[in-house]
Amino acid sequence: MQVESSEMQISHILQETGRSINRNRTAFSLATSVQAVCLTLLSIFLVLTFNLGAVVHSASKNIQLNVFLSPDADTQSLQGRIRRVTGVADTRLVTKEEALAELRTEMDKDAEVIDALGTNPLPASIRVSLLPGYASPAALASLEKKVGLLPGVTEVWSGRESLSKLDQILRTAIGIGIAILVIVSLSVIFIVFQTVDSSIVTRSSEIEIMELVGASRSTVQVPFILEGTLQGFLGGIIAFILVFILGRIISFVLPAPIFPFGSLLAIDLVLGGLLGFLGSVIALNRIRR
């Protein structure tokens, strides 16, 4: 009997949720659409930030120190000393001839410009690959300073400035993303609050009667919580679909962006549902009062 009573209560709660949504279907649909737009903007920014992070990670993973040498440098001794510097994984000597051949390959059709020089202006160098964790702008600055003090070294270049700019852009993007998250969260909570509050006002007389006849708090309140949570879930699903379609369209014009399918779906659903839940709980204060 207790099981049947629980099943009847659940069935009643679901029916009341459906009735509440049906009575305010226009407001429910409009609110869900606005939430979807808010979550879509957040999702687009998340995808952009994710791709920017991937670019920074790729750049730092492939970065090397290029140590340019004077003509009289002891290359073998230098390679040994550089390998002993903390953060260095390996070194490779690039002779003047190898450097010139690489430049010819890079310049392709414009390689005749090199022939016009008559001599090889490029110095020999040592390419230094780094251990994981030593490709940050701060670590690179320290390595450049240490290696640059070695005898026979004329210049050290790593592309640290470019990496530093990318890193700064990523940090700024993350900061903006957090601000957008806060704004979207407050907006969605407010929208759900308004929609659920409207449903409560519409059914205020019915709620009073239910309380008078002894209806439990869960019987009265849960349908409104489900309404708000469902609204958030639907907004999240729509946002995910819109961003997914937009990503597919963009991939026809630009190189396909990295699209974290599973993560984005989880974020949209969890965030949408959670914000919907919070908005409905806040609106239920009207009943408690």
Residue 239 confidence (pLDDT)? 92
Is the separation of the CB atoms in 257 and 47 below 8 Å?
yes
Measured distance CA(201)–CA(208) in Å, rounded: 11
**Residues 221-242, mean pLDDT to the nearest whole number:** 88
Q: What six digits make up the tokens of 202?
A: 């519409």
Residues with Cβ within 8 Å of 203's Cβ and at least 6 positions away in sequence, in order, are 20, 23
Residues 62-117 pLDDT 10s: 888 899 999 888 889 999 999 999 888 999 999 888 888 888 787 766 666 666 66
What residues does each domain of the chain span?
2-58+165-288, 64-158
Tell me which CATH code domain 64-158 carries: 3.30.70.3040
SS3 state at 88 = strand
Measured distance CA(100)–CA(153) in Å, rounded: 19
Mean pLDDT taken over the chain = 83
Is the separation of the CB atoms in 194 and 204 below 8 Å?
no
Is the separation of the CB atoms in 128 and 64 below 8 Å?
yes
How do 125-130 and 88-94 pair as beta strands?
antiparallel
Amino acid letter for position 26: T
Measured distance CA(278)–CA(280) in Å, rounded: 5
User: Is the pLDDT score of 143 beyond 50?
Assistant: yes
Amino acid letter for position 68: F
Q: What six digits make up the tokens of 15?
A: 């029916």
Radius of gyration of the chain (CA): 31
Residues 34-62 pLDDT 10s: 999 999 999 888 888 888 888 888 887 88
Measured distance CA(144)–CA(204) in Å, rounded: 72
CA distances from 49 to 144, 176, 257 (A): 29, 10, 11
* φ/ψ of residue 147, rounded to 5: -70, -35
pTM score > 0.85 for this model? no
Q: Which residue has the higher pLDDT, 16 or 84?
A: 84
Is the separation of the CB atoms in 219 and 271 below 8 Å?
no
